[in-house]
Structure 1
């Protein structure tokens, strides 16, 4: 009997397989008839809870006429799908995979010491951030569009629950200049009032705490194991090992005990806005 896995790679593989199937307007049953596999088994593959054999992935990708670059990417995921952790480059297909993780979560717990979390970024802030990296205008706009799609997860009939701890350095980072930062901080104050968002600030004066070692997000799911996402300058990592996830939960507990309460956090951000407008 197939073993349930749901590792970061197996879920990313599933996202890609589902997108390829939907691009051909095929149901699970229709695709199953084409490749000779039960629809329920393909459903498990797309959920990432079972891993198909590499030759099965090749057969499926051939039936769906997947482009060579995406074919290569998905086969690589299939070959290593049972590995518990995953390091990936910061390329658009992988960023799209993160959006799918985020879309299927029940709750995200995010710590950002130096930048405003992507899902809360204004368009001007995002554009200034990536333009400063020297990206081509079309690449900048592609990343802006990704941020806009992510923001949609926070609204609607079933919004994402988002718990964010943000460092004082992110509030004073100066991305894009004072005008852009004032608008960005005002947006943070506004979203912090939403019932599905909890936003708390960790001032520099607190001294040492686990968050000083870098940003991270814990992604919790309704019916699958949690994943920790570590975002770096030119890539990301996903941690799936139970002990590592537990360590990051312990870090959150310490930071929750140190962070300003939500009303105090809003007042702190409004104080930074007043300083920028002075």
Structure 2
């Protein structure tokens, strides 16, 4: 029977966890490899996600570095489920985030945002309008805008990114947000298109990450979790859906808001 390939997000999270445990102890890669009795090349491959370490090797590394029992259980759980075609991560999982690792390593990214403009592209007016709809207190509103600006500085675009924004997502602040999207469309490696209401399908937001060697992973947000799917047939279905939406989309410059884009 053919062995399943490691799930890319889980493999990246595992590699980041091993690397983080080593650096937390102030050990260089070669020094740790020598103490573990493994080659520096093997350890490097484990820490960069280019090769999946055996369960025994993961336990050996974590045990030598004396990580906390909670961290030990978390990382070992990652390794045990490495071949699962689906992995789940709680939002705000920190530096070993599956999503962050995919963002950094993706060659190309395809994002469908039917209801909310992606956070790095949101304007201050857009955030303010959303907060006002939720009856946020002034102090909470200022804090939300500040946190958004910090995240914008922290999250740059890597590789080539295509973003399809549903026309309904513009509703909180149509004109300023549309102007911002038109300006952002000029950024190198970033393509933004608007999907009119007549074309938009009743499918929730998703992001497709393409890594080296045409390895694809789909990220789906569900409540407080992100679900990562690498099963080939499921990935192909999302890729086909994205292409269909893209065919019916228009450029930001050509899009003209209509009544259907207004907030009810």
Q: Per the shorter chain, which TM-score range?
A: 0.7 to 0.9
Q: Structure 2 CA distance, aligned partners of 1:237 and 1:248?
A: 14
Secondary structure of 1:48's aligned partner: coil
Q: Structure 2 CA distance, aligned partners of 1:42 and 1:71?
A: 18
Secondary structure of 2:18's aligned partner: helix
How many residue pairs were aligned?
A: 253
Deviation at 1:250, TM superposition (A): 1.0
Equivalent residue number for residue 255 of structure 1? 245
Structure 2 unpaired stretches of 5+: none
Contact 1:87 1:235 in 2 (8 A): yes
Equivalent residue number for residue 216 of structure 1? 206
Shift in CA distance, 119/18, structure 1 to aligned 2, threshold 3 Å: farther
Secondary structure of 1:93's aligned partner: coil
TM-score (norm: length of structure 2): 0.79
* Pair 1:239 & 2:232 matched: no
Secondary structure of 1:83's aligned partner: coil
Contact 1:121 1:147 in 2 (8 A): no
Structure 1 unpaired stretches of 5+: none
Deviation at 1:96, TM superposition (A): 3.1
Equivalent residue number for residue 53 of structure 1? 54
Q: Structure 1 CA distance, aligned partners of 2:30 and 2:95?
A: 28
Equivalent residue number for residue 153 of structure 2? 148
Q: Structure 1 CA distance, aligned partners of 2:179 and 2:198?
A: 23
Q: CA RMSD in A?
A: 3.5
TM-score (norm: length of structure 1): 0.76
Contact 2:6 2:84 in 1 (8 A): no
Shift in CA distance, 103/7, structure 1 to aligned 2, threshold 3 Å: closer
Shift in CA distance, 67/214, structure 1 to aligned 2, threshold 3 Å: same
Q: Structure 2 CA distance, aligned partners of 1:127 and 1:90?
A: 23
Deviation at 1:216, TM superposition (A): 0.7
Deviation at 1:256, TM superposition (A): 1.5
Shift in CA distance, 3/232, structure 1 to aligned 2, threshold 3 Å: closer
Contact 2:13 2:96 in 1 (8 A): no
